[in-house]
Amino acid sequence: MPRNPSTGIYSKPAGTTPSVGQIIDPAPWNQLTSDLGNEITNSLPRDGSAPMVAPLKAAAGTSTGPGLGFASNPQTGIYLKGGGLLGFTQNGVDVAFDNDLVYAAKSGDYTALASDDNAVHRFTAAATLTLTAAATLGANWHYVVVADGGDVTIDPNASETIDGAAMLVVPNGYSAFLVCNGSAFFTNKVLTRLVAKADSSAVGSFVDGLMLSNNTGSPNTHIDFAAGSARSGSSFVSSASSITKRINGTWAAGTGNGAIDAGSVGASATYFAYALRKDADGTFDVVFSTSTTIGGVTTTLLSGYTIVKQIGVVLTDASSNIRQFIMYPRDEYTFVSPAKDAVNAAISTTSTLLALTVPNGVKVKAKLRFQFTSSATTNAALIHDPAQGTLAAGIGNDGGNFGAIQVASNYAIGSGDIWTNTSKQVRHVAGASGNVWVWTDGFHFPCGRTA
Please give the full DSSP string across 204-235, using - where no structure is assigned: -EEEEE--EEE-SS-TTTEEEE-SEEEEETTE
pLDDT at 212: 98
Task: Decide: 436 and 342 in contact? Cβ < 8 Å.
Answer: yes
Q: Is the full-model pTM beyond 0.85? A: no
Low-confidence ranges of the chain (pLDDT < 70): 1-2, 83, 192-203
Backbone phi, then psi, for 72, in 5-degree steps? -80, -20
pLDDT of residue 5: 73
Q: What is the pLDDT of residue 273?
A: 98
| Short-list 142, 267, 285, CA closest to 210 | 285
pLDDT at 10: 77
The residue ranges of DSSP E strands in 99-167, in sequence order, are: 102-106, 110-112, 119-123, 127-131, 142-147, 152-155
Distances (CA, A) of 368 to 36, 206, 417, 430: 118, 27, 6, 17
Supply the pLDDT for residue 224. 98
Can you give the pLDDT at residue 266?
A: 97
Kindly list the distances between the CA atom of residue 221 and the CA atoms of 225, 249, 331, in Å, as whole numbers in the listed order: 14, 9, 21
pLDDT value at position 147? Answer: 94
Q: Are 438 and 367 in contact (CB under 8 A)?
A: no
pLDDT, residue 201, reads 56
Distance CA 178, CA 187 (A): 5
CB 367 within 8 A of CB 357: no
- Distance, CA of 134 to CA of 139 (rounded, Å): 8
